[in-house]
Amino acid sequence: MKTLYIHADFMEYETKKPTPVAEELPEGHAKGRADEVLVAFITVEKKDEGKVEVVAAEAAADLAEVMKKVGAQRVMLYPYAHLSPELSDPKTGKEMLRRLESDLKEMEVEVIRAPFGWYKAFKISCKGHPLSELSRDFEGKEAAAGKKGEEKFIVLLPDGTEVSPLEYKGGTECFQIMMAKEAMKKDWPSTGEVKYARLCKKFGIQWESMSDVGHMCFSSKGALMFDLCSDYSWQIVNDLKLPVYTVKGTNMFSLDEGPVAEHAKLFGDRLYKITGEKKDFVLRYAACHQQFAMMRNWNISYKSLPYGAFEVADSYRFEQSGETMLCFRTRRMNMPDLHVICKDIPESEDWFMKLDERIYKEANKLDRDYEMLANFSSWDNYQQHKEMMLQILRKHNKPALLHFYPEGINYYWTVNIEYHILDDMKRAREIGTVQIDVGNANRFGIAYTDENGKKVFPVILHCAVIGTIERYLYTLFDTAVMQESQGKIGTLPLWVNPEQVRFMSVSENHLARARDLADRMRSEGIRVGLDDRSETVGKKVREAKQDWVAYAIVIGDKEVSSETLMVYDRAANKNVEMTLGELIASIKSQTKGMPNRPMYMPYEMSRQVDF
RNA sequence: GCCACUGUGGCUUAGAGGCAUAGCGACGCCUUGGUAAGGCGUAGGUCGAGGGUUCAAUUCCCUCCAGUGGCUCCA
């Protein structure tokens, strides 16, 4: 929408002749005059269609501000079709002006609105000071502000009671903070310094400055941790008693493809686009595109439902440059994205609840807990899924914060739950998520054949059980930071610790023995480092502790002649006597069933590059 | 994107309108040492980039870039 503002001593108009799109003229509106007025000549454009509320809100705010600044007493809205070659349809034009009028009135601004669609004569006297003539172009960028006005929040308790967030005083600290932030838009000052970044650095996880904003790189330790977590996310979905098809896709999709473009439109302004030779591409924001693109060609029978499709998909979202946060909000992330293809709504609810249970179980394994923010795309969808929600709440014996999106927008999903942890700085952070999608099967042409030979569009669940791999790492680091905040020693789960054991030789005479022990453990699939440098024992021990090695063992004269080792156990933070066999057995039992990979760098420290 | 702050060898950092600090790390020599840093020495810098003020700018001013925190945002 283009506008021209003129601060005038007076402005008067007279309608002459209606055009075919003219609005009905109320009594006494054929002529109008205003003194000490800010006149806004307004052209509503094609690109404003469908964004009336947003654009009007943005313009109203600006008009009120300018009026105040120049000291005008009132505003006149004057439809003026000549500021742009691309006019909107007349319906949008009229809507926009009325909306603008009511928005301004709501702000207690005196408004005169000239009629739409008439030829009019006018006289104006421009004041001529520097701010008396201004032009503006409103694009409705502050879409959220408009949307937010119509959001609603409710707290749903396990017994079915619905309470306003303002009145609900129960729940955990995490729940209260989530409510304050999401529903009441209150500030909840985070506390303390940011500590997880220190751990990211320790394990070689950082921003890649030679790339775009928000792209991370992982040196060997971090890369190993990443891959282990990625393996784990795969393991989880294959442990769900659900047939799962693991696939591998590409990360860019053409905007010339109808479903891709439509889906992209719903995604909004966070599309990460790149320009190709002949086409423009969108970088995928999850594994959806690839899996849907594949599945539309699959011959699916009702007999093979439900099934899952899975990929740890590199995904891209064009986050605002000031918004990025290492491991948490990035432009490139890795989404262990599971889609479950279900026959119908009841089956999707059944699997929704199973996934919910697994999401909680994974948090609990790390000694963490989640609070739920449940989003609904309409009140009807809430009624449809209310019984399922209540079952979930009763299972966890927790309330959920329900968030209702503005009605009337055709979202592809009906309900999704975001699972939030409370991090060390007392911020609620979304990690896991699951949602029901009733739109994309149709959009992408994915259908199965039912018992009667009819084609049916399935219901699709989207789920990230442990969040993105980066966010899962964030959770691991945050958990360690919290241990430290409580005065304990920070640890990583043993299966994900890049160096599970380190042998340190006292002198060169003990190297052969240390190497022998290390090799025996390595052949058992344990990640072992060997500090074979000619440094003092004190220094080697110090560094082993700084590197968060889980078990550190000094090899000297005593260990050369005995099978018993003095093992520093980081988790217990003390020295324990045991044999090599006992240590191997202990590590194996602690990491049983978890992913394993060998070290990603030379195990001899004398060969390692310092980074 | 907005506001504030920060930007000095690979890392952590001192400094101030006039020779650019130190520690770690790297390299060399000495030391063969039993649970959180052994000693001596060497190399390594367009002080984020560009412009301006000045006899002189890494320091002051402007613009840009990047990072951090907060805000906004988060299908």
In tens, the pLDDT along A82-108 reads: 887 778 888 888 888 888 888 888 888
Between residue 360 and residue 379 of chain A, the positions with Cβ below 7 Å from nucleic chain B are none
Query: What was the pLDDT predicted at A599?
Result: 96
> A391 and A305 share a domain?
yes
Write out pLDDT tens, residues A279-328.
989 999 999 999 999 999 999 999 999 999 999 999 999 999 889 999 99
d(CA A380, CA A414): 9
| Phi, psi angles (nearest 5°) of residue A211 | -110, -165
What is the model's pTM? 0.80
> A40 and A183 share a domain?
no
Q: Which helix (H) or strand (E) holds A78?
A: strand A74-79
| Strand B–CB A325 distance below 7 A | yes
Residues whose CB is less than 8 angstroms from the CB of residue A492 and which lie 6 or more positions away in sequence, other chains included: A225, A476, A480, A548, A550
**What is the CA A198 to C1' B66 distance in angstroms?**
19
| Strand B–CB A285 distance below 7 A | yes
Between residue 25 and residue 44 of chain A, the positions with Cβ below 7 Å from nucleic chain B are none
- Using the C1' atom of nucleotide B38, identify the protein residue whose alpha carbon is closest: A536
Query: What was the pLDDT predicted at A189?
Result: 67
- A58: tokens are 């943005």
CATH code, A582? 3.40.50.800
In a domain, A180, yes or no: yes
Query: What was the pLDDT predicted at A150?
Result: 67
**What is the CA A534 to C1' B29 distance in angstroms?**
14
Query: Which residue, A148, A173, A198, sits at the end of a domain?
Result: A148
In a domain, A206, yes or no: no
Let me know: does A182 contact A400? Beta carbons within 8 Å: no
**What is the CA A72 to C1' B39 distance in angstroms?**
80
Query: What was the pLDDT predicted at A106?
Result: 80
Q: Which of A441, A434, A443, A442 lies closest to A460 in space, CA to CA?
A: A441
> A545 and A590 share a domain?
yes
d(CA A192, CA A72): 47
A49 has a pLDDT exceeding 80? no
> A471 and A344 share a domain?
yes
Q: Which nucleotides of B are covered by protein (CB under 7 A)?
A: 1-4, 10, 25-26, 31-38, 66-75
How high is the ipTM of this complex?
Answer: 0.93
Q: Which of A398-407, A481-490, A544-553 has the highest mean pLDDT?
A: A544-553
Between residue 560 and residue 579 of chain A, the positions with Cβ below 7 Å from nucleic chain B are 560, 566, 568, 575
d(CA A514, CA A556): 9
> A513 and A441 share a domain?
no
In a domain, A210, yes or no: no
> A434 and A502 share a domain?
no
**What is the CA A610 to C1' B49 distance in angstroms?**
29
Q: How far apart are the first and last CA of chain A?
A: 54
The 8-class DSSP code of residue A328 comes to T
CATH code, A24? 3.50.80.10
Query: What was the pLDDT predicted at A64?
Result: 82
| Phi, psi angles (nearest 5°) of residue A85 | -80, -10
- How much of chain A, in percent, has pLDDT values that exceed 70? 97
In a domain, A202, yes or no: no
Between residue 333 and residue 362 of chain A, the positions with Cβ below 7 Å from nucleic chain B are none
Band (A213; pLDDT cuts 50, 70, 90): very high
Q: How large is the average pLDDT for residues A486-506?
A: 96
- Using the C1' atom of nucleotide B26, identify the protein residue whose alpha carbon is closest: A610
Write out pLDDT tens, residues A370-392.
999 999 999 999 999 999 999 99
Instruction: Give nearest nucleotide to A320 (CA–C1').
Output: B1
> A328 and A389 share a domain?
yes
In a domain, A62, yes or no: yes
> A501 and A539 share a domain?
yes
- How much of chain A, in percent, has pLDDT values that exceed 90? 65
In a domain, A486, yes or no: no
Q: How large is the average pLDDT for residues A574-581?
A: 96
Query: Which residue, A100, A121, A148, sits at the end of a domain?
Result: A148
A190 has a pLDDT exceeding 80? no
d(CA A589, CA A158): 38
Query: Which residue, A447, A476, A505, sits at the end of a domain?
Result: A476
> A329 and A446 share a domain?
yes
- Using the C1' atom of nucleotide B25, identify the protein residue whose alpha carbon is closest: A610
Q: How large is the average pLDDT for residues A352-363?
A: 97
The 8-class DSSP code of residue A420 comes to E
**What is the CA A189 to C1' B69 distance in angstroms?**
12
Q: Which residue segment(s) compose the domain that A451 sits in?
A: 152-188+217-476
Query: What was the pLDDT predicted at A147?
Result: 42
- Using the C1' atom of nucleotide B37, identify the protein residue whose alpha carbon is closest: A539
Q: Which helix (H) or strand (E) holds A246?
A: strand A244-246
> A275 and A327 share a domain?
yes
> Between residues A444 and A45, which one has the greater pLDDT?
A444
**What is the CA A610 to C1' B45 distance in angstroms?**
21
| Strand B–CB A488 distance below 7 A | no
> A183 and A301 share a domain?
yes
Query: What was the pLDDT predicted at A84?
Result: 78
> A543 and A463 share a domain?
no
Query: What was the pLDDT predicted at A360?
Result: 97
Instruction: Give nearest nucleotide to A145 (CA–C1').
Output: B72
Write out pLDDT tens, residues A118-170.
888 888 888 877 677 777 777 665 443 334 446 789 999 999 999 999 889 99
| Strand B–CB A607 distance below 7 A | no
In a domain, A237, yes or no: yes
- Domain tally for chain A? 3
Residues whose CB is less than 8 angstroms from the CB of residue A529 and which lie 6 or more positions away in sequence, other chains included: A499, A501, A502, A503, A518, A549, A599, A603, A604, A605
Mean pLDDT of chain A: 90
- A142: tokens are 């502050």
Give the strand pairing for A459-464 and A501-505.
unpaired
Between residue 416 and residue 445 of chain A, the positions with Cβ below 7 Å from nucleic chain B are 425, 427
**What is the CA A275 to C1' B75 distance in angstroms?**
22
Q: A6-21 in b/e burial notation, b at 16+ Cβ within 10 A?
A: bbbeebbbebeeeeee
CATH code, A397? 3.30.930.10
Query: What was the pLDDT predicted at A144?
Result: 36
d(CA A515, CA A530): 7
In a domain, A273, yes or no: yes
